[in-house]
Amino acid sequence: MAKKSEFLTYKGKPLVRKDGTIYYGHPADPYVVILQITSTKEFADMTIADRVVVQLVSTDPDVRPRDRIVKKAEKHGLYNAMDIGTVWLERALNKNA
């Protein structure tokens, strides 16, 4: 029987939400993606993400927090944000390998 993961995963990487912020990627890897939901809208009987800031962030503790942001963009909708964040993370991790 497969071991149950502590976290929700997407494409094999952990996906952790804390309030309006979603962290995507392994903290031990050189980079992670941070998605910050800046606005929401109502759709039917649900509240969904409208604007999302996507950041590719270095996990190197020796780098100043301000310099850790490698790429940043704003997208409409969580799907578009996850799409670009996944591409950025995969490229950054493959470049580092």
Instruction: Give pLDDT tens digits for 24-50.
Output: 999 999 999 999 999 999 989 999 999
Instruction: Say what the pLDDT of residue 71 is.
Output: 96
Q: In 1-97, which ranges are E strands?
A: 8-10, 13-18, 21-24, 31-43, 46-58, 69-76
Confidence label for 3 from pLDDT (cuts 50, 70 and 90): low
The answer on pLDDT for 1 being more than 50 is no
Percent over 90 (pLDDT), the chain:
78
Confidence label for 6 from pLDDT (cuts 50, 70 and 90): confident
